[in-house]
Structure 1
Amino acid sequence: MMNIYSYLHRKNIVYVALGLIFLAFVSILIFSKENSLSNNIFFSIVIMILFYLATCVKFIYEDTIKTLREAEQKLTVSEKEKYFMSYYDEVTKLPNERYLIEKIYKNLEISISDKALLVFEVDRLTTIKSSLGSFYTNRMLELITERLQNQFPDYIIGKLKEDQFVILSDRKNEKEAFLTLCKQLMELMEQPFCIQHFSLNITVNIGCAYYPENAKNAEDLIKCAQFAMYEARKVPEQCIFYEPAMSCIREEQLMLENDLYKAIQNNELFLQYQPQLKLKTKHDISMEALVRWNHPKKGLIPPSAFIPIAEESGLIVPIGKWVLETACKQTKVLQETLGQPVNVAVNLSLRQLFHENFVQVVSSILEETKLPPASLQLEITETMTMDKNFLLPILHDLKALGVTIALDDFGKGYSSLSYLKDLPIDCLKIDRDFVNNMSESEHEPLVDLIISMAKHLNLNVVAEGVETMEQFNYLVNSECDAVQGYLISRPNNFERIINNCNRLEKNTLQCETQSGYYSLIKQIFN
């Protein structure tokens, strides 16, 4: 309790003093006629003390009330903050998963009508965060939220994981109407996000689930939509509706992800190499490194099955580093065995490229393996060129090391001529779909156009997926620099390639004719 003497110094002291003087005067008048002077003084003092104590109690009461009110207000603020942290996303201020589950439950209880839940993920958020920092990702999330709230004001919008959003709708229309909503969402997210001096582009993968067909409760409804979203990554439309088989697929993927963690530690990964046959006079040996996984129980697992899982889980970064290091080591051994230069191309992932200190990682690997930088070619995909603000500084730093850079899978629709002009690349790899469709007359001019465009930019051209003599002969007669595919050689293990090299006679390594060079490549890689 507060010391009562402190009240003498308060502004109310004037009130107390005047009150005491008044009481003293009144008490003397009252008691002066009936009692002695000493008794009058005694009773006056008693009354003044009682009044003083009453006044102190009043002040203490008021202060106590004030303190309690302040404590109540603080408690109310604290409770509100606690509630907000429990039910809302800190960055976007949108309802989080806990809130959404409770909200969906209440929504389902109030209304028995069918519901449709849409979950979508922002596919490049991790890359933006690792390359630019959390300020840009947080700002992008805020801008995404603004667009969603402006475009879909009548829907319940929420946030799940760092890169996942939710839209809940009464399914008053059929599937086609919901597909229209998905299309609107994709168009909305495709518009660039301007943050400071950067113009950032994203795409989204959308999964949809229905209540009560796909799920009977809120948790399962969200889970089904997420399963569909994961499958949407694999389709060009980037939007898909849930089907029961997706649950089994997702469970298998999670088991495979767990096994992939062990694969790195247990040396279950290995590299195969596929040659790139030069079509012009330069008879050097070039090949592409391709990662493979020999699962102890399931056998050989194709890259198409485990690379997307590695990308999603982040394992692609350590796997990519292992691939780069192993490819450089084995290429150096191959150079020493053949006594001549051998070039190797290594694929890069988006996460790997934008990972912290990637340029330094490449430099260290080249230094440790003693592979000449000119012997290493790093392959990027067209999807990586969407944000050249990120890409260009890294590519220029890599070029400064002395390595070459190739643009892989060209022709899938992302790059434009202006992008190619700005990128510091050395080689263009034509996507295998163009090569496979060259038998159709309308595709041959497209291949010629790509080759002509590349030549105007002083780029080498490699055609992937060459499997027939018809394709090979057409490319030989074009300005294409090299071909790669099953017609030349299937990918082979490093041990087999080394054994083939050790059996070669030294005079066969000096190729003076194109046919001799073709023969040498087949002897090494078949």
Structure 2
Amino acid sequence: MGIIKDNKQYNPNTVNLVFSLIVSLIFTLIVVLSTSHITTKLIDQSRKEFDEYCEDMSSGYAQSVTLKIESYFSVLDTYIKTGYANNHSDKEIQQYINKIKHINHPDFMNVSFVNTEGIGFRQNMTLSDVTDREYFHKIVDEKFDYFVSSPIRSHMNDEPVIILASAVKKEDGSLRGFYSASIKLTTLNKAVESFLFDKDEWIFILGEHGKFICHPDPDMILKTYSPEIHDSNLLSSREITKIGKGHYKTISTRGTPVTIFLQKVPPTNWTLGLSVPDTFFYAFKQKENRYRFLIVILGIATMLILTFLEFYVISLLHRHQHIETIYDSLTTLWTRKHFEIEAAKLLKHNPNNKFMFLECDIRQFRYTYQNYGEDASDAMIFYFSRRLNKLAMKYNAIIGRGFADHFYILLKIPSVRKAMAIFKHELTELNLKTKDYEIPFMSKYGISFLMPENSDRADTIQQLIGQASFAKTTIQENLLTQYAIYNSKLLNRIREEKFIESHMEDALKNGEFYVMYQPKISLADEKIVGAEALVRWQSPKLGKLMPDTFIPLFERNGFITKLDFYVYEQVFKFLENQIHNNQPIVPISVNMSRNHSKPEKFMHDFLEIFKRYSIPSNLIQVEIIERSVMDDKTLKEITEKLHKEGFTVAMDDFGSGESSLNMLTKIPIDVLKFDRSFLTASTKENGEMDKQSAEFIQILIEMSKVLNKSTIFEGVETAVQRDFLRSINCDEAQGYFYSKPLTAEDFVEFIKVHR
């Protein structure tokens, strides 16, 4: 019997559907795997950029500690430069350093002079034997010029300290001994904590033997640490000091997994570490998991797509992959990696061009993220990127995005001067835009330049980024400064300013600031009609300092307001003393710095001092600054309050700011004080006045008269300038033609002669 097989007929639509599902399933699998691979690469790239950011941060902290150590040595150098040790006995040196202990750095616990036999003559008039100390042998036996010790316990009180030693040489070059200063580790810890941009950050410092010098936990000071988990990949504190630089995974002293970013701290043998908990990186993992989940959903949806769309979707996938590896997914700008590649090409192909590099970010962006959330933060970054990209296109620049809110811009420039002028103009315009954003914000910038003479451009873009990044760290959160420019003198300027800042409070207490008076002369009869009070600083450490050395710094850090009120009181004392002794007097004008932005507080503090002294208010004139940060409304309010109390008000440096004579119709000031730049720009090399400039100045004087304002010109230095101002009916003049700024005693004599 034969077997007959059935010949089944399969429905073509069913066959096509099955085939489509199989193809779609394969295609979906390819999509999931490919996109998962891309996502992993993007997450890895973000992690790499974050690691680079942390390395930059740890490098910045290490530089801050170095600057702190150098400021300590600068005080010891002050002792050495006196030359006292070479001409006096050990006991006399001890008495001397005790006598001048007021010059000590506030962080010093004690200062000693140590002779070559190892006897330390302490500033507190006690003795100690330091022959068992490492720093003694480094200076005396190994001939070090200076040395910073590892952490030790003090002979004096058994407290953990570090010792700084600086050698004292005789004229013949032989060793006389050395000065040493002890600093409590608790004091150093507080200084290091002050460097932190964010109090949630955690840094530590290790000595060469792996003992903690600085640590958030005071109990860890002078101790070493090894993770309790026995794993060869986890580092102990001793192993960390041997490595010195890089980033590694380990277990923290709190028992949590962390990544530490290490830097050496010159001129010491210390190692600084920035500790970042691994929990921070879980955010990257969570984002990756969200992406994977979305990919699975996308895969299921893709299985429903018809067969004829499969190859089209594949082509889109490849295109997407290409875009994501070159462009930032949020802003569509280049990623930092691709930006560096393109920047290197641009520099290589243009060896004879000048370049300007900018690194910028958003002030207090972390605050925005914490208070408004991820969506609002991303929207802010996108808005900022659009504004920056528009400017980049305008000037044929290239632009990229780094980690979080960091952006990089590189462009060719004709000259540094012209580039900075354009930058300042565009920054002003950009500030108006960001101020009007739904969450107002400000940006800050680090700037570096590359000149054609830099022939080796192999690693130039990384150098430019590092230089600009360092310059930006000097701004910190100073709202008066939006940018900083890197140059070879920047570190020296930072050291000088930090030294000034560390001494300004003591200088005010010790009366190192004093007032000089520059006469104001009536052009009608050549008699004195007033004077301006000008501040000077006679520092026992820095010598005589002119205002341009410290006033800009004090305006940035806010100390200028204290100095203002100090000057006011000195002027009030001077006038009261003149009245009491029946001596001749004239009105004195005092400067109100741009930092006074609250009229009620200024008037309260100003009047509180003024009312301590028996002088009439018409002897005081307050000079406000045209280019102040105050708006017209605030200026008007302060002027009216001063008028109410009987004081006159002058607009100082008029013409050097951004306002106009139209502004004067709103602010009822009494006197227009024209900036010296008018006369400087209008005077030819032969001393004659430029005709066109002279006509312009005459128009300004005439308009001032129409507004019933008295007029005075600063910077009058020649008879030609004096005669010109007299001919156009200017009221008063001030400048070296009549007198330089005078001490109080010389000023009194000047009044007697020129009344």
Normalised-by-shorter TM-score class: 0.5 to 0.7
Partner of 2:701: 451
Report if aligned partners of 1:276, 1:285 keep a CA contact under 8 Å in 2. yes
Partner of 2:712: 462
Partner of 1:87: none
Report if aligned partners of 2:528, 2:754 keep a CA contact under 8 Å in 1. no
Which of 404, 408, 417 is 1:169 aligned to?
A: 408
After TM superposition, the structure 1 = structure 2 runs for residues 74-89 of structure 1, keeping only pairs within 5 Å, are none
Matched AA of 2:594: L
> 1:520 aligned to 2:754?
yes
Which of 649, 665, 676 is 1:432 aligned to?
A: 676
Quickly say closer, same or farther: Cα 1:471–1:256, change in 2 above 3 A: same
Which of 521, 528, 539 is 1:277 aligned to?
A: 521
Cα distance in 2 for partners of 1:262, 1:388 equals 36
Cα distance in 2 for partners of 1:83, 1:370 equals 67
Partner of 1:19: none
Cα distance in 2 for partners of 1:110, 1:195 equals 27
Which of 401, 417, 420 is 1:156 aligned to?
A: 401
Cα distance in 2 for partners of 1:228, 1:249 equals 13
Which protein is bigger by CA-based radius of gyration? Answer: 1
> 1:492 aligned to 2:742?
yes
Please report how far the alpha carbon of residue 174 of structure 1 lies from its aligned counterpart in structure 2 after TM superposition.
Answer: 2.7
Partner of 1:118: 359
Quickly say closer, same or farther: Cα 1:253–1:457, change in 2 above 3 A: same
Report if aligned partners of 1:227, 1:247 keep a CA contact under 8 Å in 2. no
Aligned residues with identical type, % of pairs:
25
Quickly say closer, same or farther: Cα 1:143–1:385, change in 2 above 3 A: farther
Cα distance in 1 for partners of 2:550, 2:281 equals 42
Quickly say closer, same or farther: Cα 1:185–1:282, change in 2 above 3 A: closer
After TM superposition, the structure 1 = structure 2 runs for residues 4-403 of structure 1, keeping only pairs within 5 Å, are 107=336, 114=343, 116-119=357-360, 148-152=384-388, 155-156=400-401, 167-169=406-408, 171=410, 173-175=411-413, 179=419, 183-190=425-432, 193=435, 206-209=445-448, 212-213=459-460, 221-226=468-473, 241-280=485-524, 285-339=529-583, 341-354=585-598, 357-384=601-628, 387-403=631-647
Alignment TM-score, normalising by the size of structure 1: 0.61
Matched AA of 2:519: P
Report if aligned partners of 1:229, 1:240 keep a CA contact under 8 Å in 2. no
Q: Secondary structure at the match of 2:595?
A: helix
Cα distance in 2 for partners of 1:208, 1:454 equals 41
Partner of 2:692: 442
Cα distance in 2 for partners of 1:150, 1:466 equals 49
Q: Secondary structure at the match of 1:174?
A: strand
Cα distance in 2 for partners of 1:195, 1:174 equals 30
Report if aligned partners of 1:430, 1:463 keep a CA contact under 8 Å in 2. yes
Q: Secondary structure at the match of 1:377?
A: strand
Matched AA of 2:654: F
Quickly say closer, same or farther: Cα 1:307–1:479, change in 2 above 3 A: same
Structure number with greater CO (CA < 8 Å, separation at least 6) is 1
| Unmatched 5+ stretches in structure 2 | 1-278, 285-334, 345-356, 365-376, 390-398, 451-458, 684-688
Over the aligned positions, Cα root-mean-square deviation in angstroms equals: 4.4
Q: Secondary structure at the match of 1:443?
A: helix
Matched AA of 1:476: R
Q: Secondary structure at the match of 1:351?
A: coil
Q: Secondary structure at the match of 2:549?
A: helix
Cα distance in 2 for partners of 1:433, 1:110 equals 43
Q: Which deviations, in whole Å up to 9, do the C-alpha atoms of 1:125-159 show, x marking residues without a partner? A: 9xxxxxxxxxxxxxxx9999786244136753889
Partner of 2:724: 474
Matched AA of 2:401: I
Please report how far the alpha carbon of residue 189 of structure 1 lies from its aligned counterpart in structure 2 after TM superposition.
Answer: 1.8
Report if aligned partners of 1:329, 1:371 keep a CA contact under 8 Å in 2. no
Quickly say closer, same or farther: Cα 1:360–1:80, change in 2 above 3 A: same
Matched AA of 1:224: A
Which of 652, 659, 663 is 1:408 aligned to?
A: 652
Report if aligned partners of 1:227, 1:242 keep a CA contact under 8 Å in 2. no
Please report how far the alpha carbon of residue 303 of structure 1 lies from its aligned counterpart in structure 2 after TM superposition.
Answer: 0.3
Report if aligned partners of 2:359, 2:409 keep a CA contact under 8 Å in 1. no
Q: Which deviations, in whole Å up to 9, do the C-alpha atoms of 1:17-48 show, x marking residues without a partner? A: xxxxxxxxxxxxxxxxxxxxxxxxxxxxxxxx
Please report how far the alpha carbon of residue 468 of structure 1 lies from its aligned counterpart in structure 2 after TM superposition.
Answer: 0.5
Report if aligned partners of 2:597, 2:630 keep a CA contact under 8 Å in 1. no
Please report how far the alpha carbon of residue 478 of structure 1 lies from its aligned counterpart in structure 2 after TM superposition.
Answer: 2.1
Q: Structure 1 or 2: larger helix share?
A: 1
